[in-house]
């Protein structure tokens, strides 16, 4: 049985065009289903100094944020977790960490992260298994296909997965002046797919550790820079 502690603070200014509410979650225990819907600008789930946490097996997390300048900072520990984040707006900041140091469950196995945002000037970061201990089978799917641009995507994965079907990163991104950085290390099967449309973007993929590695980059546009480094 999951235990969830939720702190909610809301500030609404009648004469203003923006809303500001904070939701903080500290969830311990298995089989939790958490759904969060936020509408308006300047909303947050967790913060950079105090991330929301799900620490337990079989967590299903679904967060929808509509509006600009929203923020999500979430740490996930435990097996069989599903994280879905959908943001619709500009200048948002999304940070998801899986199986990093800490948490009573420590590592994570069979985790899916799906992030969708049809907007621009957003910052998206995922960090998987900082210590590469007990973290396995993590799939990451990021979709930024608005055609706007100026988004920044950073994927750092150190999981111990070795199966080609269980360690996949798929990034779809449209628009100009986007920056995508994908770094994978540890174990093997460092599979990364990037589909990019737009100009003046920077795409960088670095993969290393125990050989097997696959990088598939498709880009359509002018004056973009693509750097791929693969080592055993």
The string of pLDDT tens digits covering residues 119-168 is 889 999 998 876 545 677 778 999 998 777 899 999 998 877 676 666 78
167-186 per-position pLDDT tens digit: 789 999 998 899 999 998 87
Lowest mean per-residue pLDDT among 34-38, 90-94, 126-130, 169-173: 126-130
Q: Which helix (H) or strand (E) holds 156?
A: strand 152-157
Give the residues across from 53 on adjacent strands.
26, 75
**Higher-confidence position of 168 and 13:** 168
Confidence of residue 15 (pLDDT cuts 50, 70, 90): very low
Are 63 and 86 in contact by the 8 Å Cβ rule? The answer is yes
Residue 151 pLDDT: 92
pLDDT of 19 reads 52
Q: Which residues contact 196 (CB under 8 A, 6 or more apart)?
A: 172, 173, 174, 178, 180, 203, 217, 218, 219, 220, 221, 224
- The domain locations on the chain are 3-231
Between CA 184 and CA 165 the distance in angstroms is: 16
CA angle, 160 as apex, 144 and 142 as ends, to 5°?
5
CA–CA distance, 217 with 170 (Å, rounded to integer): 10
pTM of the shown model: 0.87
Query: In Å, how far from its chain's centre is CA 129?
Result: 13
pLDDT recorded at residue 52: 93
Residue 19 has a CB neighbour count (10 Å cut-off) of 17
pLDDT band at residue 84 using 50, 70 and 90 as cut-offs: very high
Nearest-angstrom CA–CA distance, 68 and 23: 17
- Return the pLDDT at 139: 85
Check: CB of residue 169 under 8 Å from CB of residue 157. Answer: yes
């Amino acid at each position: 049985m999951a235990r969830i502690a939720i702190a909610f603070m809301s500030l609404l200014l009648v004469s203003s065009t923006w809303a500001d509410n904070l939701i903080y979650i500290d969830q311990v225990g298995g089989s939790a289903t958490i759904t969060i819907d936020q509408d308006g600008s300047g909303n947050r789930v967790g913060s950079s100094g105090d991330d929301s946490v799900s620490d337990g097996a079989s967590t299903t997390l679904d967060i929808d944020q509509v509006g600009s300048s929203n923020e999500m900072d979430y740490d996930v520990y435990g097996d069989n977790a599903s994280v879905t984040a959908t943001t619709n707006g500009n200048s948002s900041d999304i940070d998801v960490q899986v199986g990093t140091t800490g948490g009573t469950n420590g590592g994570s196995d069979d985790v899916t992260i799906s992030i969708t945002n049809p907007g621009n000037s957003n910052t998206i970061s995922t960090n998987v298994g900082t210590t590469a201990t007990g973290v396995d089978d993590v799939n990451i799917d990021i979709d930024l296909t608005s055609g706007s641009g100026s988004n920044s995507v950073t994927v750092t994965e150190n999981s111990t997965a070795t199966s080609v079907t269980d360690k996949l990163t798929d990034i779809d991104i449209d628009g100009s002046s986007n920056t995508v950085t994908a770094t994978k290390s540890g174990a093997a099967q460092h599979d990364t797919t990037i589909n990019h449309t737009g100009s003046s973007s920077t795409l960088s993929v670095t993969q290393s550790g125990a050989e097997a590695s696959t990088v598939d980059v498709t880009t359509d546009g002018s004056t973009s820079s693509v750097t791929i480094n693969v080592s055993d």
